[in-house]
Amino acid sequence: VSFPGLSGGGIRLAGEGGRADTGEFKRRFQWIALGMVLVFLGLGARLFELQVVEHDDHRAAARENIVRRVTLATTRGIIRDRTGKTLAASRPAYNIYVVPSRLDMQNVWPRLVEYLRMGPAERAEKEKEILDMRAEDNKRKDQQYLLKEDISRDAVADIKTHERELVTVTPRGKDLVAVELVPVPVRYYPYEEVGAHVLGYMAEVDADKLSKLHASGYVEGDRAGVTGVERSWESYLRGTRGWEKVLVDAKGTRRSGHDDIIDEPKRSEPIPGRDLRLTLDADVQKALEKAFRGELAGGVVMVDVRTGRILGMYSKPTFDPNVLSGGSGKAVIKAAFHRLYTDPLKPLLDKTVSGAYPPGSTFKPFTALAALEKGLVDPRAMQQCRGAITFGKRLYRCTHVHGPVDLHKAIAESCNVYFYNLAAPEEGGGGAVGMDIIAEMALRYGMGTKTGISINAEASGRMPTRAWMTLHNHGHYTLGFGLNAAIGQGATTVTVLQLALAYAALANGGTLYQPQLVRAVETSNGTVVQEFTPRVRRQIDINPQNLKLVQKALEAGVTAEGGTALLAYNNSGLRELGIDVAGKTGTAQVTHHRDSSLDDEKSWYFNRDHALFASYAPVRSPEVAVVAIVEHGGFGGKHAAPIAFEAVRAYQQYVRTPHSAKAAARDGAAPKPARKPPGRPARGHGGP
Amino acid sequence: MARDNFTRLRDQFDWPLFIAAALIAVLGVVNLNSATSVYSGSRSELYVSQIQWLAVGGILGGVVLAFDYRHYERFGYVAYAFGVFNLVLVFMLAKDVRGAARSIPFGSFQYTPSEFMKLFLVIALAKYLHDDPRNEGRTLKDLFVPALLTAVPAFLILKQPDLGTATILILVFLTIAVLTRIRWRSALLFVGSAVPAGYIFYNFGTHGYQQARIQAYLNPEADIKGIGYHAHNARIAIGDGGLLGTGFMRGTQNQFGFIPDQYTDFPFPVFAEEWGFAGCVVLLALYGFLTVWSIHVASQAKDRFGAVLAVGAAAVIFWHAVINLGMAAGVVPVVGVPLPLFSYGGSNMLTMLGAVALVMNVSMRRYGTVPAPDRL
C-alpha cells in the first residue's frame, strides 16, 4: 500500500518550471520577517512601558478598583437628665431600598408590598414610580431607590425572615439582590414634646452647610443637631466615624480573604459620641408641662439659686422632636415643619430664651433696689395711691386704689403709683430715680444682656437708657419713659431666663450665676470626662438691709394678706407642705395692634397682656428661683403664679432632700443610668 | 514506504516549530485555568475542554501533515468555495450571540466557518500565486483576482458582523501581497487610495459599536465605565503585573472580575498580570519565533505554493497575535480577535493548529528531491 502523498513522479513539476520558481519572493521573506520582529519588539516596548515604567500607576489603579474604604458608623451620645434618665438617645431604624431594574415585579414586588403593609394607594404610587424608572433609559434604574423610610418593626422582622424570597432570580438562574434593608440610627426622644426646645432636634445637613462641614467629617445624609443642646453640643455628641478598608469585586460584592493585599492601616475604629448629663430633671420637666396644660403659650424656667443650674425649662407650644429628627420620611418632616411655621403661637420659638418680654411688675424689686441703693427713697415714707397719677399731659394708671403705701406694700401689692412717683422728678427737678439708674441696677442683675446659656438663639432683652430712648424717639426724650421703665413697661424687655437668674441673685444675696445646662460630659461607659462647676458671672454689691427689705416685700407678695399671688399660693397646697415662696406677679402690656388677618377671637387673644410671675423658694433658705410667663394670659397672679407654684411643688417632690440626697449618692457612684433597674426609689415622699 | 514515512517524521520533523507552538498552548492552558478560576461550575473547567480541543487539533494537525501540501494546491479553490458556502450558511443557521451571528450549532458544538475560512483563503491565494508566476513587477490589476478572493469572504464576515476576522483576512492578503513583486508605483497608488477607502468604510461600512470602539481607542480614558471599560482594565491588569508579576492566580484584576472575556479575547491581561514583564517577554518571544520561523520555512519551500502557504499561515498567526496583544496593551482598537493557540475556543484552536500543521507540512517537504505527487 503506497501512501499517496509520498509517491508519484515529478511530471507536472518538470513541465511547469515557473511554478517552482520562488525567485519573485526572494528577499521579501526577510522584509516580512524583519517587519514581524519589529512589530513584536514594538509590542514588547509597549509592555515595558505599561509594566515597568508605569507600573506604580497601574498598581494603584488596580488597588483602587478593589479596595473600598467603608465608613464605620459611630453612635451619637446619649443625653440624660440630672438623675440619669434618658432624654435623647439613638434607636435603630430601617430604611428599605430597591434597585428598580433588578426588581422582579411579578414575584418579589407583591411580597414586598405585603411585608411593608402598604395600602393600595401607596402601592400604586410606588409601583408607578418604579415602573417609570425601569422604562427610562438611564442609570437611575440600576441605582438604589429609597422605597420607604423607618419601616415598622414587624416589617423589618418579615423582611429579615423572608430574605430569600425577595431575591430576584434571573432566567439564567443568577440571584440578584434587588431589595436591601439598611439600618439607620434615628434620634429618639422618650419624653417627646416635653423640653423639646432645650434638647433641640436633628436634621439632615443640607448641601450648603455640608460644604462648610465637610472638613469636620460630615457626609451627605448626615444628621446634625439644629437647635438646643443637640446643636450646641453637637461636636461632643456626634462622635467620630471609623473606617475600614474592604475588598470588593467588579460587581461591588464584598470579598473576604486576600487581606494581605490591603495596605496598612486597614481600619480606624469609630469613636462613640460623648454622653451628656444635664442639670435638668425629667420629672420636673414633666410637671412643668402638666402645669402649663391650661394655657396656650408661654414659658417657665426653674434655676437652682445656689448654682445657676437649670432644673426645668419649658416652652409652650412645643413640638415633637421625634417627628422632626426622625426617619419617618422627608414628606412627614416637611409637613410637620409647615404646620409649625404657620402656627401663630410660634411653637419653634423657645420662649424661655429667645423671647423677650416686658417684665412688667416683676421688675419693681429692681427699681426699688436702684432707689434704695442711691438713697433716693425712704422705704418707710408713705405715699398716697389714688389709682392713677397725671404726669405731663398723660394719665398713668395703677391697678386699683391702694391708699397709703410704703415700699414694702408697693411691691407686695404691686402699686404702680408708688413707682411712678419714684421715677417722677420732684418739683424743681432732682431726686428722681431716672431711667439710667434703673437700667444700671437691672444690668447688674444680668437683665438686658445675654446670659450665655449657649443654646438656641438667645435674645438679649433691652434695658433702655435715656440716651437710647432719645435716639429711638426722633431725638426727644420724655420723662414719661422713665415712669414706664420704673414698672418694667415700655421699651424694657427681658427673657424669662434672665429674670429667673436675677431673682436667683435676689434670693441668694447677690450672686449672679452663669446659667448651666450641662453638668458633665461622660464617655459611653459612664466615666465622667469633664464636670462643669457652677460659674459666677458677678457678685452684686448690694446693701444687705436694702435687699432684706425687698425680700420681705416679695415674701409678703405671696404669703401675706393683700399679696398679689396670695390666692394662687393658697390654692397651690404649698402652705400645707410647709414651703413658703417669695415672688412678684407681673402683667406685661402688649402693644395693641389689630391684624386684619386675624378673626375677632384671635385678635382678642393676641391683644391680651402677658401674665408673669417671678419667684424663689423657700423663703428662709432659698433653693430655686422660678419664673413663668403665660403669653396673653392676662393677670400674672391668676395665670402665671399657679404654674410657678406647681414647679416648686415638683421641685419639692422630685429634687429636694431626702430624695435628692439619694440621687446625689447615686450620682457620686456614677452608675450607668440606662442600666438602672426600673424600680427607682419611690417618688414624692420627701420634704419636711 | 512506511519506513520512509517514519524516518521523515524523525529526521525532518520541525521540532523548533512544534516546541514553540506547544509551549504557547501549554501556557494558554495554564493561564486558562487561572482566568476561569473566578467562576464556579462548568466554566471553571474550561481548561479541560481546551486540552481536549488541543488533542483534537493535534490529531487534525497530524492528518493535515500526513498529506503532502502539494495535494492541497489542487483542491485549493474547492476548499475556498466550501468555506464561502459555509459563510453563506451562517446567515441562515447561526444564532445571535451578543448582537453577532458567527457560529452554526453543530450538535453540542459551535462551528465557526469564519475561522476555517482563514486557512481556505491562504490555500486559495497560494494556489493563485502558484499558478501565476511572474518575474516582472506586478501592477494592481494583477492583484485583482487575489483581492477579490479575499474580499468575498471578508465582506460576508463583516456582515455577521465580525470586524476582527474580516480585518485579519485583509491583513493576511496584504502580507501575501508584500511577498509578490509589486511595482513601486502600484504600491504607492494602493497606499494612497487606502486612506480615503478607509475613511469611507469607517463612515458607511461599520456599525455604531465598532465606531465607538475605535473612538474609545483614540481616547482611551474618555469612557472607562462604558465602551472603554475592557481596554482600560486590561491595561491596568497588564501594568499591575510589573516586572515579575503577581503570581499564579493572584492577579487581582482577574480574580475580582475586572477583566471581561478573560478566557476568549482578553486572556493576555490575565497572563501579563500574573507573570509580569518577564512572562510577557517569554510569550512574545515564542510568538516571534513561531512566526519568523514560519517565514524561514517559507523561504526554504521548494515551490511557490508552499512558500505562500507558509507565509499565509504565519500571517494568520502573526496578525491574530498582534491584534490581540495590541488591543490588550491599548495600541490597537478593541476588536474581538483571539490570541492564537492561547485563547479558549474550539474552532480557533483547530484553525491555529491547522496553520501550524501547514507550516510544518511545508517544512517537512522541503528536503531532498521528492517530486510533487501527481495524484491523490
**pLDDT for A526-535, tens place per residue?**
899 999 999 9
CB contact under 8 A, B373 and A8: yes
Mutate to test the interface with B, among A50, A54, A247, A253 (most CBs of B within 10 A): A50
Contact between B360 and B300 under an 8 Å Cβ cutoff? The reply is no
CB contact under 8 A, A249 and B256: yes
Q: How far apart are CA B228 and CA B233, in angstroms?
A: 9
CB contact under 8 A, B372 and A36: no
Helix (H, G, I), strand (E, B) or coil at A333: helix
Question: Which chain A residue's Cα is nearest to B74?
Answer: A12
pTM score of the predicted model: 0.71
Which positions in chain B touch A44 (Cβ < 8 Å)?
A: 280-281, 284
Which residues of A, range 61-100, sit inside 8 Å of B by Cβ?
61-63, 65-66
Confidence of residue A667 (pLDDT cuts 50, 70, 90): low
Q: What is the mean pLDDT of chain A?
A: 85
Mean pLDDT computed over B347-368: 89
Report the Cα B17 to chain-centroid distance in Å: 16
Which residues of A, range 333-372, sit inside 8 Å of B by Cβ?
none
CB contact under 8 A, A8 and B375: yes
Closest CA of chain B from A172, distance in Å: 14
CB nearest A3 (choices: B5, B285, B374)? B5
To 10 degrees, what angle do helices B144-158 and B113-131 make? 170
Mutate to test the interface with A, among B136, B171, B176, B256 (most CBs of A within 10 A): B256
For the question of an ipTM over 0.90, the answer is yes
Q: Hey, what's the cell of A576?
A: 400645707
Contact between A636 and A564 under an 8 Å Cβ cutoff? The reply is yes
Burial grade of B224 (CB within 10 A; 0-12, 13-18, 19 or more): middle
Mean pLDDT computed over B252-276: 90
Q: Hey, what's the cell of A580?
A: 413658703
Confidence of residue A12 (pLDDT cuts 50, 70, 90): very low
Residues B205-216: pLDDT tens digits? 777 778 887 787
The confidence score (pLDDT) of residue A677 equals 42
Confidence of residue A237 (pLDDT cuts 50, 70, 90): very high
Burial grade of A137 (CB within 10 A; 0-12, 13-18, 19 or more): exposed
Contact pairs from chain A to chain B, CB under 8 Å: 201
Residues B316-339: pLDDT tens digits? 999 999 999 999 998 888 888 999
Closest CA of chain A from B27, distance in Å: 18
List, in order, residues 6 or more apart from A679 with CB less than 8 Å away: none
CB contact under 8 A, A44 and B281: yes
Q: How far apart are CA A245 and CA B375, in angstroms?
A: 73
Taking alpha carbons only, the member of A215, A79, A238, A91 closest to residue A150 is A91
Closest CA of chain B from A44, distance in Å: 7
The verdict on A4 touching B (C-beta cutoff 8 Å) is yes
Q: How far apart are CA B341 and CA B286, in angstroms?
A: 11
Mutate to test the interface with B, among A21, A22, A258 (most CBs of B within 10 A): A22
Confidence of residue A596 (pLDDT cuts 50, 70, 90): low
Mutate to test the interface with B, among A7, A25, A34, A38 (most CBs of B within 10 A): A25
Q: Hey, what's the cell of A284?
A: 420636673
Helix (H, G, I), strand (E, B) or coil at A198: helix
CB contact under 8 A, A65 and B253: yes
Confidence of residue B176 (pLDDT cuts 50, 70, 90): very high
Does position A1 have pLDDT exceeding 70, yes or no?
Answer: no
Which residues of A, range 16-45, sit inside 8 Å of B by Cβ?
18-25, 28-33, 35-37, 39-40, 42-44
Mean pLDDT computed over A571-595: 86
Backbone torsions φ then ψ of A534, nearest 5 degrees: -60, 145
Contact between A112 and A179 under an 8 Å Cβ cutoff? The reply is yes
Which positions in chain A touch B285 (Cβ < 8 Å)?
A: 40
Question: Which chain A residue's Cα is nearest to B308?
Answer: A25
To 10 degrees, what angle do helices A364-373 and A416-423 make? 40
CB nearest A51 (choices: B5, B242, B305)? B242
Backbone torsions φ then ψ of B40, nearest 5 degrees: -115, 160
DSSP designation for B345: -
Closest CA of chain A from B376, distance in Å: 5
Backbone torsions φ then ψ of B114, nearest 5 degrees: -65, -25
- Out of A239-253, A523-537, B309-323, least confident range: A239-253
What single letter denotes the amino acid at residue B367?
A: Y
CB nearest B304 (choices: A19, A36, A47)? A19
- Interstrand relation of A79-80 and A275-278 (parallel, antiparallel or unpaired): parallel
The verdict on A245 touching B (C-beta cutoff 8 Å) is no
The verdict on A680 touching B (C-beta cutoff 8 Å) is no
CB contact under 8 A, A55 and B239: yes
Share of residues in chain A with pLDDT > 90 (%)? 46
Report the Cα A145 to chain-centroid distance in Å: 30
